[in-house]
Structure 1
Amino acid sequence: MEFLTLLQSPHSFLWATLLGVVAHLTLFRHGEWDMSAPALIAAFFSTQLLLVGYGTAYAPSFKAVPFAVLHVSGLGICFLVGTFTSILIYRAFFHRLSRFPGPFWARLSTIYPTSLSFRSKLHLYEEVQALHRQYGDFVRLGPMELSIADPRAVQAVNSAQTPCTKGPWYNGMRPRVALQNSRDKQEHSQRRKVWDRGFGAKSLRDYEPRVVTYTTGLMTAIEAQKDKPMNVTDWFNFYSFDVMGDLAFGKSFDMVKNGVKHYFMNSLKTNMTMAGYFKHVVWTAPIMRSIPILNFEHKRFWKFVNSQVDERMQMKPDKPDVFSYLLEEYEKQEPKTAQNLMNLQADAYLIVVAGSDTTSSTLTTLFFHLATEPHVLAALRKQVDPLFESGEVDSVTLAKSKHLDAVINEALRLHPPVPSGVQRLTPPEGMMIGQTFVPGNTIVYIPFYTLFRDKRNFKRPEEFIPERWTTKSELAVDASVFVPFSYGPYSCIGKQLALMELRYVTAFIVHRYDFTLAQGEDPAKFTRDMTDGFTLACPPLHLVFTDRKTA
């Protein structure tokens, strides 16, 4: 009876508002709630329905259903007003990050960095760079987020000794958990040991014939389109996806062979674009995936991935691929759970994604600079040509060319594959980064684009100068910040494979062909149209390849 009296009381709206405040201070202010968004929405509306039903059944003044609906809806609105008012006041003035500088609106909601992505058309990395120039090395990018451009943060956040863990963004694929998404350090370490075998020196030697095969296929495609504009952005994507598809699913996507975009690549590019827009509002992902029709493409995509994994599990390849090692570990697990299988499927997806997007964008930006800066191409050829004159060229030979690696490094520096950095979470007790104490449970980003173009770290930072990695080391003031593949326990496990691909394609093309920007190609537009969809995505780049003129 007391509850009915309270429910019908004129003060019920005030109590609902106060309940919202209490819910924030005692519940929502603690822990992570992103993945619970669908459950919270369902609980809210279920409670509303229960109150309407209860009130109309037992409260005399609620006998009219429309009145009950209006009254309970009012209570719900008051609860939400109380909750969000408390959240906004706390974040604006009392939050543990309040002393850090940044735009006022960034204090209130992750909608702020999301709006920057929309406003800049996925140039968040440039927006973040501008914020650091305005506010300094520590910028409050969201209510619980800091972007940190202090060079000392690279080691503090990424080293083997760091107390940081992966942030809530890595929950985004759940219930699937790929290696990259494993947030538990011990679990990640155990799973990484299997991957280490798949990317060890012996395994890389086994994979090299595949890299050679697809490099040869790419050269054949260039020869077929010689003297005509060729969209190398697409073709470098075809190449990298074909290599990684072979290593993950035991078969190529045949894009280099056919010159046609595969469903997997198109769908992945769409997913990465959406990730770029919504990576700061993680709670939207589980909501979208739980809504029929809106989740159609998500289900279709994973149905395709799962079917490829099923086919690959039935294969017995002549030579091991990356998936072989993951499958071997999966087969040892007893009992085999549904979660184990989903993790295996997620890992297969990760093989392709992690090894394709980053490699293709680096190749595209590298050849953009070679095409627009002939002196860089000439200097590279002086180092590469002798390799071909000495006999058979392989990965060992290419790896000895310091200048080839310098050109690759410079492309990675100016156009890092993950320009805005990855998400990390400080330990509950907080930590020191440089001379600054960062409170516990703070989401931190190290913006690679900003760091790699910072005059404190690199002189003449906007210029493409490969020699800064060789004969002009004075131009690399603090090369320790240059970690395009990250480092430490979460470093990119496929780094050496990626370098093998980059070296092969770059060396073979520059030795065989001359190339220039196609007529009408605007260099400024190319750089302006790059996008940050978590990984860097390049717009179409049209080059014209011709037979190389002998000196």
Structure 2
Amino acid sequence: MDLLKLPDRTLLAQGALIGIITYWAVWIIYTRLFHPLAKFPGPFGASITTVWTLLHVLPGDAEKTQMKLHAKYGLVRPVVRIAPNELVTSDPEAIQTLYGIKSFTAKTTVGYQLTIAARFPDHFSSEGGKQHAERRRIVSHVYTMTSILQSEKYIEKCIDVWIGKLGEMADCKETFNLWIWTRMYAYDVIGELYFSKMFGFLQAGGDHLGYIDATDDLIPVQFLATNMPTYVRGLFMLTGILFPKVRGALKALGNLTDATNAMLKDRLAALQKARKLDLVLDDIKMDSFGGFFAGSETAALTLSGILYNIFRTPRVYAKLTAEIDAAVQSNQLSTPHITYNEAIKLLYLVACIKEGIRMHPITGASFPRHAPPSGCMIGEYYIPGNARIGVNPGVLHFNKTIFGKDADQFRPERWIDGDASRMDRYIMQFGIGARTCLGKNISMCEIYKAIPRLLKSYAFELGSDEEMQTRSYWLHKPVAIDVNVRRRP
């Protein structure tokens, strides 16, 4: 009896194997020869499976890989295939086509909505359209620069604490991690603006609440999940609970939820009575979480990237410090607190900030859009309808046709001597068009107020001549930036 069953099982296994081989053979032929994106160049593996896409973002350096892809295949056309149905383009004009206000492209699913039962998705994960526009309309006035400047004193409180801590480190001749301290500064600012008090990171000199570590543990997991085939994404997220770091991160986020609830408790009645905002409690929670994560991380990595490039370029550092000192001596800058409106009048400071933003974009990954059903044109190339296509700021910001032959160098003067208005159109630091980051003005206020205050008070030197290492999982984060600090005479 068993002998009779054996051949059947063997035949079944053989049939399954033949079926798998046949499926893949047909699929490969289709993707390589007949797929709507078959005409676009790219790695062989990328054209047949999204596994290649996952592997190319897994190391956290997608911008470097895509830069190489554009150098290799972009000579043929500025559009490269990185998945069976996904493209990336290095064409500078593509940003308006894909992300502009009048763009007819649709946002892809790049992340999981925050797990709060609000009426609207958070601004980051919302797919756009009327719903996204309505939510922005409700809260946009809160994020205007005029509104932010009314809260300048709260940002100054955080800078005061940071300045004091730097003095202690200077006296002890300690080296500090610039990336960690810019994060603590940015998080404490959000604490003041959203929760009415600092989280205490700067005062504690570390992540005593675990919120910062939580973002480091959870964001890569979410990013990798969005680059996986949909049929394994849910399982991957579920198995993440098995890892202690992920569980610890979720616990820290639970503590943040409690803090949010406590902050809102005293204000909810007033909001409901005033009825000035079309928001309910969960909508406010959603905005608070969005500001906490997106606002803190983006501001910190932008500020750390700017300062890193200033510190590693002695000529620029000396010139900027001289400008700040001259402005102080001529009473163009208030002391001890420098206002935003004073700082933006320092031409070389503005140039350094713009150049630092260009050199260290917020993201090193492309944020794809779905082409309209009728397709769209990228330069002279037709992109089929519903294909995914995106632009990587980590590639575009170094485009030599826009920023000059020395685009790989930190040279703030290009923003003074060159066509700054033209270059501005190709900077994707805070998004483009209708999805421009709501918290942009908060970040810029933090940056313009902090840099002259820091350089006026202390002298900084990088602890190493080695190039800064980064990891790109959505956000293009530094690994560490060791800096020596001393008091200025």
1:312 equivalent in structure 2: 263
1:547 equivalent in structure 2: 487
User: Does 2:460 match 1:522?
Assistant: no
Q: With structure 2 as the length reference, what TM-score do the two structures score?
A: 0.86
> How is 1:142-161 mapped onto 2 (pairs within 5 angstroms)?
142-161=83-102
Flag structure 2 segments of 5+ consecutive residues without an equivalent: none
- Specify the SS of the correspondent of 1:514: strand
Counterpart among 170, 178, 188 of residue 132 in structure 2: 188
Go from structure 1 to structure 2 and tell me whether the alpha carbon gap of 1:162 and 1:266 turns closer, same or farther (over 3 Å shift): same
User: Does 2:69 match 1:131?
Assistant: yes
2:181 equivalent in structure 1: 235
- Specify the SS of the correspondent of 1:140: strand
| Pairwise CA RMSD | 3.3
Contact 2:211 2:249 in 1 (8 A): no
Amino acid aligned to 2:174: K
Go from structure 1 to structure 2 and tell me whether the alpha carbon gap of 1:112 and 1:190 turns closer, same or farther (over 3 Å shift): same
Question: Which whole-Å CA distance do the structure 2 matches of 1:117 and 1:67 have between them?
Answer: 45
Question: Which whole-Å CA distance do the structure 2 matches of 1:326 and 1:260 have between them?
Answer: 39
Contact 2:221 2:237 in 1 (8 A): no
Contact 1:289 1:298 in 2 (8 A): no
Amino acid aligned to 2:187: F
Question: Which whole-Å CA distance do the structure 2 matches of 1:537 and 1:480 have between them?
Answer: 23
Cα deviation 1:447-488 (Å, max 9, x = unaligned)? 112111121111111111111111x21699755322321221
2:60 equivalent in structure 1: 122
Amino acid aligned to 2:262: E
Question: Which whole-Å CA distance do the structure 2 matches of 1:194 and 1:79 have between them?
Answer: 55
1:16 equivalent in structure 2: none
Counterpart among 165, 170, 173 of residue 106 in structure 2: 165
Higher relative contact order (CA 8 A, sep 6+): 2
Question: Which whole-Å CA distance do the structure 2 matches of 1:175 and 1:311 have between them?
Answer: 16
Cα deviation 1:299-352 (Å, max 9, x = unaligned)? 5355334323322221349x99xxxx9994323xxxxxxxx83x5544322111
2:339 equivalent in structure 1: 394
After TM superposition, give the deviation of residue 503 of structure 1 in Å: 0.9
Go from structure 1 to structure 2 and tell me whether the alpha carbon gap of 1:494 and 1:73 turns closer, same or farther (over 3 Å shift): farther
Go from structure 1 to structure 2 and tell me whether the alpha carbon gap of 1:476 and 1:313 turns closer, same or farther (over 3 Å shift): closer
Contact 1:431 1:438 in 2 (8 A): yes
Amino acid aligned to 2:190: M
1:271 equivalent in structure 2: 218
Amino acid aligned to 1:169: V
Question: Which whole-Å CA distance do the structure 2 matches of 1:242 and 1:540 have between them?
Answer: 20
Counterpart among 328, 336, 348 of residue 403 in structure 1: 348
Counterpart among 212, 219, 228 of residue 281 in structure 1: 228
Amino acid aligned to 2:132: H
Cα deviation 1:413-447 (Å, max 9, x = unaligned)? 11101122322221111111221111111111101
Cα deviation 1:250-304 (Å, max 9, x = unaligned)? 4322100111213111010112233454442263443234456467457535533
1:21 equivalent in structure 2: none
Question: Which whole-Å CA distance do the structure 1 matches of 2:476 and 2:198 have between them?
Answer: 23
2:289 equivalent in structure 1: 349
After TM superposition, give the deviation of residue 169 of structure 1 in Å: 1.8
User: Does 2:144 match 1:203?
Assistant: no
Q: With structure 1 as the length reference, what TM-score do the two structures score?
A: 0.77
Go from structure 1 to structure 2 and tell me whether the alpha carbon gap of 1:85 and 1:253 turns closer, same or farther (over 3 Å shift): farther
After TM superposition, give the deviation of residue 382 of structure 1 in Å: 2.9
- Specify the SS of the correspondent of 1:406: helix
Q: Looking at CA atoms only, which structure, 1 or 2, has the larger radius of gyration?
A: 1
Identity in percent = 20
Contact 1:512 1:547 in 2 (8 A): yes
Amino acid aligned to 2:105: C
Name which of structure 1's ranges 242-251 and 538-547 shifts more when overlaid on structure 2. Answer: 242-251
Question: Which whole-Å CA distance do the structure 2 matches of 1:152 and 1:125 have between them?
Answer: 19
> How is 1:38-437 mapped onto 2 (pairs within 5 angstroms)?
87-118=27-58, 121-136=59-74, 137-171=78-112, 173=114, 177-226=121-170, 227-261=173-207, 262-281=209-228, 283=230, 284-291=232-239, 293=242, 296=247, 299-300=250-251, 302-316=253-267, 328-331=277-280, 341=282, 344-389=284-329, 390=331, 392=334, 393-437=338-382
Question: Which whole-Å CA distance do the structure 1 matches of 2:284 and 2:434 have between them?
Answer: 20
Go from structure 1 to structure 2 and tell me whether the alpha carbon gap of 1:68 and 1:266 turns closer, same or farther (over 3 Å shift): farther
Question: Which whole-Å CA distance do the structure 1 matches of 2:202 and 2:311 have between them?
Answer: 22
Name which of structure 1's ranges 427-436 and 381-390 shifts more when overlaid on structure 2. Answer: 381-390
Question: Which whole-Å CA distance do the structure 2 matches of 1:89 and 1:327 have between them?
Answer: 59
Flag structure 1 segments of 5+ consecutive residues without an equivalent: 1-60, 332-339
Contact 1:112 1:142 in 2 (8 A): yes
After TM superposition, give the deviation of residue 178 of structure 1 in Å: 0.9
Question: Which whole-Å CA distance do the structure 1 matches of 2:276 and 2:110 have between them?
Answer: 27
Question: Which whole-Å CA distance do the structure 1 matches of 2:276 and 2:251 have between them?
Answer: 23
Contact 2:109 2:226 in 1 (8 A): no
Counterpart among 467, 474, 478 of residue 413 in structure 2: 467
